[in-house]
Amino acid sequence: MRTERVTVADGGFDLHVWTPEGGRGPGLLLIQEIFGVGAYIRDVAEGLARDGFVVAAPDVFWRLEPGWAVVHTPENVQRSMELAARFDADQGLADLRAALARLRGLPEVDGRVGTLGFCFGGTMAYRLAAAERLDAAVSFYGSGVPDMLDLLDRIEAPLQLHFGGSDPYIARDRVAAVERAVAGRSRVEVHVQEDGGHAFHNHRAPMFHQPGPAARAWEQAERFLSRHLPR
Q: Which residues neighbour 180 within 8 Å (Cβ) at sequence distance 6 or greater?
A: none
- C-alpha–C-alpha distance, residues 169 and 151, integer Å: 21
Q: What is the DSSP letter of 186?
A: T
- DSSP-assigned states of every residue in 94-143: HHHHHHHHHHHHSTTEEEEEEEEEETHHHHHHHHHHHHS--SEEEEES-T
Q: Which residues neighbour 14 within 8 Å (Cβ) at sequence distance 6 or greater?
A: 3, 4, 5, 6, 58, 59, 62, 66, 67
pLDDT score at 136: 98
- Please give the chain's pLDDT, 231 residues, in tens: 999 999 999 999 999 999 999 999 999 999 999 999 999 999 999 999 999 999 999 999 999 999 999 988 889 989 999 999 999 999 999 999 999 999 999 999 999 999 999 999 999 999 999 999 999 999 999 999 999 999 999 999 999 999 999 999 999 999 999 999 999 999 999 999 999 999 999 999 998 999 999 999 999 999 999 999 999
Q: Are 86 and 111 in contact (CB under 8 A)?
A: no
SS3 5: strand
pLDDT score at 72: 84
